[in-house]
Each structure stands twice: as C-alpha cells, then as structure tokens.
C-alpha cells in the first residue's frame, strides 16, 4: 500500500511512526533482557549480616574428624 505524500508529511502520521519506533525499541530491549542471565546486585557488594554459624539441617562435621 502506497500512501500519498500529503499523508506522509502530516502530523498524525509522524506521531504514529514515533510511537511505532518507540514500541519496537522497547520490545527489542525486553526480548534482549529476557535472554540474558539474571543479574543479582547483592552479589556485587559484601553483606555484613552473614551468619557466623552454620544453621543448616546438615551441620558441618566437628573440627579434627576426617
């Protein structure tokens, strides 16, 4: 479908084409973010609230036993 020059130069067509362009960029960014591995910002910084004792139901063996 070929549109006349007057339609291509109109304001509503410019708004529509800008919306389509932004929508396409956002769709591409979301698709790229979906395939990349998940980023955990907490791994970038050391945490002060680490436990000093192992609280697992499978505790570590006592020191000196092999």
The tens-digit pLDDT sequence of the chain (66 residues) is 788 999 989 999 999 999 999 999 999 999 999 999 888 777 777 666 667 777 788 877 777 665
What confidence score (pLDDT) does residue 46 get?
67
Q: Where are the domains of the chain?
A: 1-61
- Please give the DSSP secondary-structure letter assigned to residue 38: P
Assess contact for 7 and 13: CB atoms under 8 A. Answer: yes
What confidence score (pLDDT) does residue 23 get?
99
Q: Alpha-carbon distance 66 to 20, whole Å?
A: 66
């Amino acid at each position: 479908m070929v549109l006349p020059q007057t339609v291509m130069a109109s304001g509503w067509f410019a708004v529509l084409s800008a919306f389509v362009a932004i929508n396409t960029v956002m769709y591409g960014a979301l698709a790229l973010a979906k395939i990349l591995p998940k980023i955990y910002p907490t791994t970038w910084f050391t945490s002060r609230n680490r436990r000093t004792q192992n609280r697992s139901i499978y505790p570590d063996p006592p020191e000196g036993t092999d």
